Every structure is written in C-alpha cells, then in structure tokens.
C-alpha cells in the first residue's frame, strides 16, 4: 500500500519532467525479441543524421519495447528508415523581432520487415517532427529533434495496433 501511495504521489512529477511510463503493445512485436536497424537512407548533406537516428532508435526500442539489437542476419525484425526531408530554417517573424528564430524539420518513412517471412509488418509514411532553437544551441536542438522523432515512431507502433 505504501508503494502505491509513493507511486501516485511522484507519478505527476515524473511525467512533468518528461519521463514516459508505458510499453509498446503492437501485434507484430509478439514473439519478437531481436531487431536490427538495417539502413537509414539519408540523402541530406548532414552526415551525422544517420548515426543519430540509428542510435536513438536502438535506444528507444531497447528501453520501451524490450527487444535487443543483434546482427541483421539473426534479427527477428529489420528496421528501415528513409529521410525524405531535412531542413534548417532561420527567419525573422515580424518587424519588431530582434532575435532570429530557427527551426529544424525532418520528415521520414519507416518500414519494419519480419526477417523470416520477408514480409513488411509495419510502416509509416511522412512522419514529421520539428524543433525550434536559438543559433547557439543548434546541436542540442538536432539531438532533441531526433529523440522526439524516434519517440513518435515508437508511439505510432502501439497506436496503430
């Protein structure tokens, strides 16, 4: 009873700090214990983007889904990510503005394939995310953008099933 009391007491605090409590319950994940991010197609000039997406997706799948990453030839599921658009826009919103506002935008397609059946088991097209920042914090904004994108991907897995 005491544990329940503390959980109920601190739960709003954890959620307000950005912690997500939950799990992904997608049908295609039943009896699947391993995955591999096969590719992140990145036609942009930002070379860091592919590795950021791959590592963030891996971390989120391990943390929230509970499956582990292994070599692609043994994995149950193959993940494919394709960056459709990535932009960095800087603008002045009005004549009274004295600070430049910048925004990163990304748009991706994601596909999950069952390795044994060689069949697509889940996909989403045109998933987008954006992050605003000041010029001095672009690198942090980029990291947050990718984290938000990956959270959206994993959230969508459970919503659609």
Q: Looking at residue 18, what is its pLDDT?
A: 42
- Whole-number average pLDDT of the chain: 84
pTM over 0.85: no
Q: In whole angstroms, what is the distance from residue 147 CA to residue 142 CA?
A: 9
Q: Provide φ and ψ at 66, rounded to 5°.
A: 85, 20
| Residue 19 per-residue DSSP state | -
Q: How is residue 88 written in tokens? A: 């960095």
- What's the pLDDT band for 19 if we cut at 50, 70, 90? very low
For residue 104, the domain's CATH number is 3.30.160.150
Query: Is pLDDT larger for residue 47 or for residue 92?
Result: 47
Q: Looking at residue 25, what is its pLDDT?
A: 52
Residues 116-144: tens digit of each pLDDT: 999 999 999 999 999 999 877 889 999 99
- What's the pLDDT band for 111 if we cut at 50, 70, 90? very high
pLDDT at 8 over 60: no
- Please tell me the least confidently modeled range out of 66-70, 76-80, 154-158: 154-158
Question: What contacts 84, CB < 8 A, 6 or more positions away?
Answer: 107, 108, 109, 126
Q: For the chain, what is the domain count?
A: 1
Beta partners for 124?
110
Question: Per-residue pLDDT averaged across 52-79, rounded?
Answer: 95
Query: Is pLDDT larger for residue 47 or for residue 28?
Result: 47
Cβ proximity of 25 and 157 under 8 Å: no
Strand 101-114 to 77-91 pairing: antiparallel
Q: Looking at residue 2, what is its pLDDT?
A: 57
pLDDT at 5 over 70: no
Q: Write out the residue range of the structural domain in which residue 148 sits.
A: 2-159
């Amino acid at each position: 009873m005491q544990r329940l009391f503390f959980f109920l007491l601190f739960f709003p605090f954890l959620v307000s700090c950005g912690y997500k409590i939950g799990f992904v319950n997608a049908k295609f994940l039943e009896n699947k214990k391993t995955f591999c991010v096969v590719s992140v197609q990145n036609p942009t000039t930002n070379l860091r983007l592919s590795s950021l997406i791959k590592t963030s997706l891996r971390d989120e799948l391990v943390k929230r889904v509970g499956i582990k990453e292994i070599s692609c030839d043994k994995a149950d599921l193959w993940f494919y990510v394709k960056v459709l658009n990535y932009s960095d826009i800087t603008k002045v919103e009005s004549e009274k503005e004295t600070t430049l506002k910048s925004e990163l935008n990304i748009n991706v397609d994601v596909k999950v394939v069952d390795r044994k059946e060689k069949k697509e088991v889940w996909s989403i097209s045109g998933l987008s995310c954006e992050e605003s920042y000041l010029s001095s914090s672009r690198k942090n904004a980029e990291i947050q953008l990718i984290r938000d994108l990956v959270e959206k991907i994993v959230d969508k897995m459970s919503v659609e099933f």
